[in-house]
Structure 1
Amino acid sequence: MRPEKRGVLELFERSQRYVIPLYQRRYVWTQEKQWEPLWNDIRLRAEAETDHRQRVKPHFLGAVVLAKLRTFGRELEAFDVIDGQQRLTTFQLFLAAFRDVARELDLHVLDQPLRRVTVNDGLLSQDLERFKVWPTRFDQPGFHRVLDRVTGDPIEEEVQEARRAFRFTPNTMAAYAYFIQTLRSWLSQDSDPARRAEALFNALRRHLQVVTIELEEDDDPQVIFETLNARGEPLQPADLVRNHVFSDAARRRESVHTLFDQYWAPFDEDGSLWQTNESRGRLIRPQLAWFLTAFLTVKLEEDITDNVIFDAFKRWWSSRGPDASTESGLKELLRYAQAYQQLLESPPSSRLGVLHRRLKVMDISTLTPLLLFLLTDTGLAAPQLDLLLDDLESFVIRRFALGLGSKNYNLLFVRLLRELRQLPEESDLRDYVMNFLSRGVGDSVRWPGDSEWRDALLTAPLYKKVRPRGVAMLLEAIDLHLTTGKQESLLIAGPLSVEHVLPQRWTQWPDPVAPDGIPDARAWRNTLLHTIGNLTLTTQKLNTSLSNAPYEKKRGELAQQSRLRLNTLFQTQMQWDEQVIQQRSLDLADILIQIWHGPAGLAQPVESAPAVVDVPDTLTAVAELQESLVRRPIPDFWVEAGSAGDGLLLFSNHWGTRSVRYHIELVEDDAQVEWLKVSLRDTFSDGAPQKPHVQAALARLALSFQQTFGHDRTQVTPTELSVWLPDTADATTLRRALERLVILTRPALEQAAAQTRNREERDLDRMINHINPSLPDSLYFMVADIGTEKKWRRLTDAEWPSQVHYELELRGSDILLHLHDELPEGTQKSLLGSAWDDMVLAAQADQPGADLTAGVRPSGIRWLTLSPSADVTGELQSLSELNNRLQQLMTTTRSKITSALATESGS
């Protein structure tokens, strides 16, 4: 390798080309992560150049790894970009923006220099050689348009409009739009834009540097690429796989362009199935990544997880043998990809389509590798395959409805796949699968029998256990089963709403009358409320209109409006009570047993004793959390009940306002499903000075917030970050979610608050930021002291009453340290008083030469004040002295205070 240090402009001053291989990933840098930091690095050096500083420290912008390409005749010298393509592309987009702004401002002196670094001049063998950087095929149109921009081309307007409409725009154009707007604003801020522009040009030439590493013949580009891939924007597994495949093809002298166009290009097309994101649990990945996971699980017969896709792919690729061609590997990949696409896009009425839809409802993806194997490698005819899919679906749905869990499915189905692959060709696959699944013992793998299945359907609160989507899946299956040749076959195309016939809020209905042996009629009703016998399907609009209406109204509407076979019952059922619910549960359970059969050869089915399930009361959980927060508060926050009585509010005293708050409340979504929402809200009015700072903080927090809690259960708006939890969550879960939200968001809010503070408050912040890292865990500054014109901050221990605290005060240019006892008269004050004089003497002895005074005010407040002689205008040395004095004061007094206050609780 031949490394060389170059300025940014030096990279492009010669007539040569940097060619990004077509199989490299596309341009993915973004404003927040890369464009803004890059611009700040450039701007600081340009401003230093403008100020004519004698020495401007050069700044290193990263490395670029190149491999020289063979050229012929009049072709320009060219290099393959092994690593650094994002950086090189960005430099060219920045220089194009600089060129165009300079033209706008009539800075003609820069016309030729900027043209020289954005266009190759002279005798060219082909037109595209004029581009100094040539990106991948998907980035070429936008890049071409930017580098060749003509006057009047509305690139900026198109980018802005696309963002407003949430429409795709090429990232190359978005980067150009950002840089041209930023440069236009920065250059126009100077009364002499030409001076600034020249300084910027000189900074790019002299002070902003890149290391280029040119590979020699013996260097392996692929090894170097994989070593360096984590720099910049991390590569996705599919990027690494693509690079590995086509680097291998290039080494074999195979036609890279032909292979890419014929086999891989569809995977990278915008808007294709493969680029569509899908969430599984908390992970959101393109379908291509999920497909590769399933494909490699089949090929290697082991559970492949998201973080090992690339290593697993290399193992499979090399296992094909040294003579296997790239094309044969890509053909095999494409064969499985077609089966994967068949699974995802099968007609909703087909057997495979129904199974896929139901697996999505249950959030089960671990069956996908086994399904791929059945679709590609078994040669099963459609009728045989459908029967086998029936068996698999029956297994997972019975377990799903009983809440038996799916966490071991990955290992179970990989083992089944491995055993099926080893069977002789003449084996009956369906018979083997039935026996394999029926042998399971233990809750993680067993297949529930008919008796257990029926009992659970009769007594379990299904609506709470499997959530509304799961209930809707079961009820849709019943409706389909009830449809005979005498009725129209209706395909339920959109999601329907689950309706409680006896409403969840049934206080307007007649009180229940329990049969003999049931001591609590209300508990009995609440148990039956969420069983399948009390549930049906309606449209969302009909569900909303029915709400908590009496049965007479509900019956008439359901009989008249619904076209579902499931709801024909309401044409003749004249009353609705617990006995009717129980009978309907029994009827529907028998139908579900017919739809999803049990295990094979189970002579003695596992029995399950019916039980009354205690469904947690959501409001009780919120009340318990409030009580918990009163006993164990989150430092610096205070809590109160929500105004409607169904939630609680947590206020941050950092703001000295109620306009930013944490909130826990019970809400309903559009499908009338209840959730517990834990949120951070900005309720500042639009004219408040804090508003823009808080909005910017929430926008910055959005991505890390979604990554922390998972995209599937979060919601982000300009004024709110919220986490949606099941309404069965207990107080411990709520507290954990609230604390994580506070920990994640609090620093950004503090920073936003600081931007509206005066000089004295900022000085206090600076001191506290210096002291905070050295404080023990239980000590915290009371942020209730933050507010207009306040010049002090209290420091207390979580084990003490807040009336006992240290205090940091800014008085002119002096800093004072206090220890205050502001307790009301009582036992604690007396106990602390007995230790106070000894503490004062000990503090005076420990800090000789310090200005330390103490006394008692007429109000009964005891005080001790230490003047450390630290000037607030000083920097680290005086702040360190202040911190040392505080630590010494706490060492002398803190254990004595804790011991004195603990005496009362001990007695």
Structure 2
Amino acid sequence: MQAHETKIQPIIEGTKQYLVPMFQRTYSWTLNECKQLWEDILDIEEYEDSKGHFIGSIVSMPVPSAPHEVQRYLLIDGQQRLTTIVIILAVIRDLARKDDIRLSDEIHETLLVNKYEEGESRLKLLPTQADRRSFEKLLLNTIENNNDNLIIQAYNYFKNQISKCDIDLRRLKTTLTNRLSLVSIVLASNDNPYLVFESLNAKGRPLTQSDLIRNFFFMRINQEQHNFIYNQYWKPMQEDLGESLTEFIRHFLMKNGKLVRKSDVYVTLKDTAENEDALKYIKDIHTYSSYYKTFIKPELEKDVSLREHMIRLNRIEATTSYPLLLNLYDLHYKNIINSRELNEVLDVLENYLIRRFVCELPTNELNKNFLSVCQKIDGYGYKGIEVVKEIKSALQNKGYPKDIEFKYNLVSTKLYGAGERSRKIRLILETIEDSYNHKEKINFNNLSVEHVMPQTLNDSWKQELGTTWEEIHDHYLHSLGNLTLTAYNAEMSNATFLKKRSRLSNSHLELNKYFTGINEWNERNIKERANILADKSLEIWGYFGSEEYELKDVKGTSPRLIFFFSRWYEVNSWRDVWATTINKIIEKDESYFDILLDKFPNLVSKDKSAFRRHYTLDNKSYINVDFSARDIYRLCFTILEVLEIEKEEWSVEIES
């Protein structure tokens, strides 16, 4: 490595070319940086005795070339400064053409181009592919008026500043080429330019992880292939995915089942691809990027059914499933699974996510759950039906709510809320409406979610709900039974129920047919409508798992004894069964209580006001007892499963 202080002129004059490598970012100086440089230049101009101005360093490395070729240098660092200086020289050249053609030609032929060369070798500075076309047109006098391009913006800025200044162009050229100082660092041929670049940027403006990844690959590819590979593979990914490129690469790295944190994308890829063929790896990433493009832009998917499925998954924010989807789309591309089977899996994913949302299961588990499925369907040798079966089998044991839990939460949980909650409940309501198979497709675009019992109660509504209005409003406001779709949200607002009923009864939506003939809106009617919509939801998002135990129909029965943990306990009602089961679970292992609080907040709570009807447990906490015999019987089995307690440990003896 050699370093010495120098000026701009000896850096760029002579038959040579500075090539900005792929691992550099595109030209990124805005008007702020251009303004600062221009002010520095004016300061030098103002003071005759100024020795100049230090503008930083330029790091380069010679590239092997034939004797008859231009001597090329990789411009490892300093491309923003050097590019800007060249842009200013182009401005001086163009302005001098009117009154000093000799100066114009001198700048052009000695500082901007290699006069006797052709093609890309003609330019003394060759930017990255993304900037190359604009820069070439600027230097070869075919500039385009593109205000979105930073190179053109810089050219126009300096042209405007120089034009309005009383400044001698020849003197300005001398200032740029001989009074701006810099340190030129030339690497030896055995130095690693990428590692140097990496360390130089460690303390400066950070590169994005996708920048670093691009750098990593192109440093391992023959220079002669850069143009083709960039245009064929990397540039299309950048254009298609934009800001999502880094996240795509993260999901690509996760498709084998290993979690990659957002901050570790580059490091993980570097470890993964270090010993791989760089070109083959880029081609592989490019192939998967074509799948990913349809995830984030479903409108590009040609298959109508797949397009609709991806639109729906995006509405419920299914990004945690993207690593799994990359595997599935690749299996589809390889004809291992067909379109019908892929659509079936997308149905399964929606079903899984909708049920978990309704049952308020934590979303931070989803990454781990989907990655475990990625490991199970590693892909090779599978037939379509096996993939579908494998995914169903894996997900049913990853926090997949059974019917009893799903229905209970549909009826009682506060589903509506800010942000994603409002979007998800809207999708649920739209899907229920669509399930009635209208002859004409409903346009949901101008409909919004309406609270029948309004969010703000006036005196009329308080009277409508009765003495317990506050409790009813708190418990049922955002529940499924109180929500519908309408185009008259603003008009209805907090109008009386009878006025709302008039609008809703005339609606063409099946969701609103229930209100015809209903004369009051109270707790009983909200729960009744919720149960109707919940049953419909159970048909739409039916349980895809296999029951490992046969559930009896205990409706109308009277329990006498329960057998649990090798002992018998007397009970007089199904509520006793429920309370005894929970008490004995906590008595068996106190850590179970924390799990119940976390997994079943709608069943167990330390707060008595959490439930309308509650029972006090032995540890002074509370359980919800607002259930039927069927509900309690099924919930007991659900809890046993979550706590991994053998089902044979528990049974109920019923009076004959």
What is the TM-score when the length of structure 1 is the normalising length?
0.55
C-alpha displacement of 1:425: 4.3
1:257 to 203, 227, 249: 227
Partner residue in 2 for 1:338: 290
**Aligned-partner Cα distance in 2 for 1:573–1:312:** 61
C-alpha displacement of 1:477: 1.5
Partner residue in 2 for 1:376: 330
Partner residue in 2 for 1:315: 271
Amino acid at match of 1:413: F
1:583-602 pair list within 5 angstroms: 583-598=528-543, 599-601=545-547
Q: Is the 8 A contact 1:483 1:565 kept in 2?
A: no
Partner residue in 2 for 1:145: 137
Question: 1:56–1:450: structure 2 CA closer, same or farther, 3 Å change rule?
Answer: same
Question: 1:343–1:464: structure 2 CA closer, same or farther, 3 Å change rule?
Answer: closer
User: Once the two structures are superposed, what CA deviation does each residue of 1:827-849 show, in whole Å capped at 9, x if it has no partner?
Assistant: xxxxxxxxxxxxxxxxxxxxxxx
**Aligned-partner Cα distance in 2 for 1:27–1:470:** 42
SS at match of 2:371: helix
1:133 to 104, 125, 143: 125
2:450 to 499, 504, 524: 499
**Aligned-partner Cα distance in 1 for 2:377–2:125:** 51
**Aligned-partner Cα distance in 2 for 1:184–1:559:** 72
C-alpha displacement of 1:570: 4.9
SS at match of 1:79: strand
User: Once the two structures are superposed, what CA deviation does each residue of 1:47-101 show, in whole Å capped at 9, x if it has no partner?
Assistant: 2452334x5464142323232341453x433323333333332221232234445
Partner residue in 2 for 1:35: 34
Amino acid at match of 2:73: F
1:451 to 400, 404, 408: 404
Partner residue in 2 for 1:305: 261
2:529 is the alignment partner of 1:530:
no
C-alpha displacement of 1:111: 4.1
User: Once the two structures are superposed, what CA deviation does each residue of 1:519-543 show, in whole Å capped at 9, x if it has no partner?
Assistant: 632331343222112212234xx32
2:365 to 408, 413, 420: 408
Q: Is the 8 A contact 1:454 1:590 kept in 2?
A: yes
Partner residue in 1 for 2:568: none
Partner residue in 1 for 2:468: 520
**Aligned-partner Cα distance in 1 for 2:298–2:523:** 41
Amino acid at match of 1:259: I
User: Once the two structures are superposed, what CA deviation does each residue of 1:770-789 show, in whole Å capped at 9, x if it has no partner?
Assistant: xxxxxxxxxxxxxxxxxxxx
User: Once the two structures are superposed, what CA deviation does each residue of 1:382-414 show, in whole Å capped at 9, x if it has no partner?
Assistant: 333333333322222222223322113222222
Question: 1:454–1:354: structure 2 CA closer, same or farther, 3 Å change rule?
Answer: same
Question: 1:146–1:474: structure 2 CA closer, same or farther, 3 Å change rule?
Answer: same
Amino acid at match of 2:266: F
C-alpha displacement of 1:365: 1.4
2:152 is the alignment partner of 1:204:
no
SS at match of 1:249: coil
Question: 1:215–1:258: structure 2 CA closer, same or farther, 3 Å change rule?
Answer: same
Q: Is the 8 A contact 2:58 2:75 kept in 1?
A: no
Q: Is the 8 A contact 1:63 1:210 kept in 2?
A: yes
SS at match of 1:384: helix
Partner residue in 1 for 2:343: 386
Partner residue in 2 for 1:87: 81
1:747-786 pair list within 5 angstroms: none
Question: 1:403–1:353: structure 2 CA closer, same or farther, 3 Å change rule?
Answer: farther
**Aligned-partner Cα distance in 1 for 2:156–2:131:** 15
Q: Is the 8 A contact 1:472 1:496 kept in 2?
A: no
Question: 1:579–1:121: structure 2 CA closer, same or farther, 3 Å change rule?
Answer: same
2:544 is the alignment partner of 1:548:
no
**Aligned-partner Cα distance in 2 for 1:90–1:614:** 68
**Aligned-partner Cα distance in 1 for 2:103–2:149:** 28
Question: 1:208–1:600: structure 2 CA closer, same or farther, 3 Å change rule?
Answer: farther
Question: 1:430–1:119: structure 2 CA closer, same or farther, 3 Å change rule?
Answer: closer
**Aligned-partner Cα distance in 2 for 1:609–1:311:** 44
SS at match of 1:219: coil
**Aligned-partner Cα distance in 1 for 2:312–2:550:** 29
C-alpha displacement of 1:454: 2.0
SS at match of 1:26: coil
C-alpha displacement of 1:340: 1.8
C-alpha displacement of 1:478: 0.9
Amino acid at match of 1:173: I
Partner residue in 1 for 2:413: 460
Amino acid at match of 1:211: V
Partner residue in 2 for 1:50: 46
Amino acid at match of 1:400: F
User: Once the two structures are superposed, what CA deviation does each residue of 1:400-439 show, in whole Å capped at 9, x if it has no partner?
Assistant: 2233221132222222212332897479333333333333
Partner residue in 1 for 2:396: 438
2:12 is the alignment partner of 1:66:
no
**Aligned-partner Cα distance in 2 for 1:604–1:329:** 50
2:159 is the alignment partner of 1:180:
yes
Q: Is the 8 A contact 2:129 2:227 kept in 1?
A: no
C-alpha displacement of 1:613: 11
**Aligned-partner Cα distance in 2 for 1:96–1:604:** 83
Q: Which has the higher contact order (CA 8 A, sep 6+)?
A: 2
Q: Is the 8 A contact 2:137 2:144 kept in 1?
A: no
Amino acid at match of 2:475: T
User: Once the two structures are superposed, what CA deviation does each residue of 1:722-777 show, in whole Å capped at 9, x if it has no partner?
Assistant: xxxxxxxxxxxxxxxxxxxxxxxxxxxxxxxxxxxxxxxxxxxxxxxxxxxxxxxx
Q: Is the 8 A contact 1:297 1:369 kept in 2?
A: yes
2:112 is the alignment partner of 1:119:
yes
Q: Is the 8 A contact 1:7 1:210 kept in 2?
A: yes
Q: Is the 8 A contact 1:21 1:80 kept in 2?
A: yes
C-alpha displacement of 1:295: 0.9
Partner residue in 1 for 2:387: 429
**Aligned-partner Cα distance in 2 for 1:613–1:142:** 69
Q: Is the 8 A contact 2:253 2:269 kept in 1?
A: yes
SS at match of 1:329: helix
C-alpha displacement of 1:504: 1.8
Question: 1:128–1:388: structure 2 CA closer, same or farther, 3 Å change rule?
Answer: closer
1:221 to 181, 193, 214: 193
Question: 1:49–1:11: structure 2 CA closer, same or farther, 3 Å change rule?
Answer: same
| More helix by percentage | 2
Partner residue in 2 for 1:273: 240
**Aligned-partner Cα distance in 1 for 2:127–2:31:** 19
C-alpha displacement of 1:250: 0.4
C-alpha displacement of 1:559: 4.8
Q: Is the 8 A contact 1:527 1:614 kept in 2?
A: no
Identity across matched positions, percent: 27
Q: Is the 8 A contact 1:502 1:534 kept in 2?
A: yes
Question: 1:199–1:47: structure 2 CA closer, same or farther, 3 Å change rule?
Answer: farther
**Aligned-partner Cα distance in 2 for 1:356–1:422:** 21
Amino acid at match of 2:457: W
**Aligned-partner Cα distance in 1 for 2:496–2:96:** 74
C-alpha displacement of 1:370: 0.9
Question: 1:406–1:69: structure 2 CA closer, same or farther, 3 Å change rule?
Answer: same
Question: 1:491–1:331: structure 2 CA closer, same or farther, 3 Å change rule?
Answer: farther
What is the TM-score when the length of structure 2 is the normalising length?
0.74
User: Once the two structures are superposed, what CA deviation does each residue of 1:560-608 show, in whole Å capped at 9, x if it has no partner?
Assistant: 5x55443344565565444332221111111122222345426599984
Q: Is the 8 A contact 1:455 1:610 kept in 2?
A: no
Q: Is the 8 A contact 2:3 2:183 kept in 1?
A: yes
Question: 1:142–1:438: structure 2 CA closer, same or farther, 3 Å change rule?
Answer: same
Amino acid at match of 1:258: F
Amino acid at match of 1:589: A
Q: Is the 8 A contact 1:460 1:613 kept in 2?
A: no
Gaps of 5+ in 2: 552-598, 611-656
Aligned residues: 553
SS at match of 1:536: strand
**Aligned-partner Cα distance in 2 for 1:184–1:479:** 66
C-alpha displacement of 1:133: 1.2
**Aligned-partner Cα distance in 2 for 1:56–1:614:** 79
Gaps of 5+ in 1: 160-168, 276-285, 441-445, 616-907
Q: Is the 8 A contact 1:47 1:199 kept in 2?
A: no
Q: Is the 8 A contact 1:13 1:116 kept in 2?
A: no
